Amino acid sequence: MSVKVFIPTPLRAFTEKRDTVEVDGKTVGEVLKNLVSRYQPLQQHLYQDNGALRGYVNIYVNEEDIRYLAKEKTPVGEKDAISIIPSIAGGKDDEAHGIAHEVLLSNDEVLRYSRHLIMPEVGMLGQKKLKAAKVLLIGAGGLGSPLGLYLAAAGVGKIGIVDFDVVDATNLQRQVLHSTGDVGRSKLESARETINGINPYINVETFETRLTSENALDLFAGYDVIVDGTDNFPTRYLVNDACVLLGKPNVYGSIFRFDGQVTVFDARQGPCYRCLYPAPPPPGLVPSCAEGGVLGVLPGIVGTLQALETIKLIIGQGDSLVGRLVLFDALKFTFRELKLRKNPECPICGSAPSITSLIDYELFCGIEPPVHDEESHRQFEITVEELKRRMDRNDDFILVDVREPHEFEIVNIGGRLVPLADLPNRMNELDLSRDIVVYCKSGARSGRAVNFLRTSGFTRAKNLVGGIDAWAQKIDPRLPRY
Ligand code: ZN
């Protein structure tokens, strides 16, 4: 009997790009074992060495989490669908009521918000609640952009933004808070200008800092709703934990290529992020948007859904996404909804929490501080200048590009194209006895490739520091950068 298994985007590299696979089996465990025997490289992504499923991978049968069914023994039949869900990056009514009653709207504001005011679900009271509300956006990037625009337009009285970046040309494809003329400016300044251009009645509070365990509780304390628009795991866990400790809702959105996830975590009445993902993926396993890319309109869709949930929480209307994870597949145009449950053993929101204050999230996510052993590190690296000299001398070495074929098409400096995910299966194309120089866009993926090659016996492999981007800047400025 075969069962349909949905493969998430990050794992499709291992299933010949298939998004669904039909696999035989009578239980979830059997189906998954058959899946990994057909696609061997999936093994290390789904299972630990001891054969247990990894903590950052959740398995659903239809819309139920198998942890709340019979786990891997959960029976499945022909009509069932199994989803593999890897982790990818309201104010209390009474209180809001009281504060909102004291807020006044000017005649200008009444006119501005008239399309809200004539809806009974918003009305004068709802609009006053919006004006009294304080929403903190973590990040002024892809998700923060539609959030900032729509929350400002809707009349959210105070919008705080935490960010420390400057606007970069590659941001403009999706970060619609910023314009071409803003390249090089602080994102916060650009965001404030755009938001106040849309609605001068909004008080924009900016925090030009990295969110850390030291400042998160203080920053969050002054806000009713926290909206997570970040792109890395340490910050996701930090935002979650600070929200749980302070009892505040966390409106969550994440994006990757064509996939989006949205939910509302509120540990006072439902699960938190740690209930869903007790453990982060190992560093480097899940690519970031900078490495994997993202369709520009996708953060617009997901961020707008976050804005919608934020507004519903503030005005206290409708059914919130608490306890419901929405998955959006832009290529197929499907929305799927999964039930999320509170884990009674959750380390932060469970009945006997082991985490009672903020921790070191970089450490928790396994991100090691930069290597101090410079000397031994350098011998695995080569600079673009040295590579140029070796090319000019016609030295004997193999040049390997571990980027994706579509990146190779944008720009390349020759070499054999072996995408990182294919490397384990294509090592036989390389020669142990020759020098190997590996490059990618920036040196991150090729660094992982070199580590992998060295542990596989290719002791003469070196990583091109700064990747093809450094080559384009220092050696051949005619090349396009991306
Ligand atoms: Zn929890």
- pLDDT, mean of each 10-residue run, the chain (482 residues): 86 85 94 92 84 84 89 92 74 53 89 94 94 96 97 98 95 96 97 97 96 95 94 91 96 92 95 90 65 87 98 94 96 95 92 90 72 61 94 93 93 93 85 91 90 82 94 94 92
Using the mean position of ligand 1's atoms as its centre, give its distance from the Cα of residue 56 in Å: 14
Angstrom distances, CA of residue 44 to CA of 58, 60, 74, 99, 285: 15, 19, 22, 53, 10
pLDDT value at residue 181: 97
Using the mean position of ligand 1's atoms as its centre, give its distance from the Cα of residue 477 in Å: 50
pLDDT value at residue 380: 87
Using the mean position of ligand 1's atoms as its centre, give its distance from the Cα of residue 273 in Å: 6
Q: Which of 403, 419, 372 is nearest to 469 (CA)?
A: 403
Q: What whole-number distance in Å separates Cα of residue 19 and Cα of residue 295?
A: 17
pLDDT value at residue 11: 82
Using the mean position of ligand 1's atoms as its centre, give its distance from the Cα of residue 457 in Å: 43
pLDDT value at residue 217: 95
Q: What angle do CA 224, 226, 227 make, to 5 degrees?
A: 140
Q: Are 301 and 367 in contact (CB under 8 A)?
A: no
pLDDT value at residue 371: 47
Using the mean position of ligand 1's atoms as its centre, give its distance from the Cα of residue 57 in Å: 16
Using the mean position of ligand 1's atoms as its centre, give its distance from the Cα of residue 303 in Å: 23
The predicted model scores a pTM of 0.71
Per the structure block, which two tokens stand in for 120?
């009974």
pLDDT value at residue 290: 64
Using the mean position of ligand 1's atoms as its centre, give its distance from the Cα of residue 341 in Å: 9
Q: What whole-number distance in Å separates Cα of residue 332 and Cα of residue 211?
A: 35
Which residues have a catalytic role annotated?
Answer: 289, 440
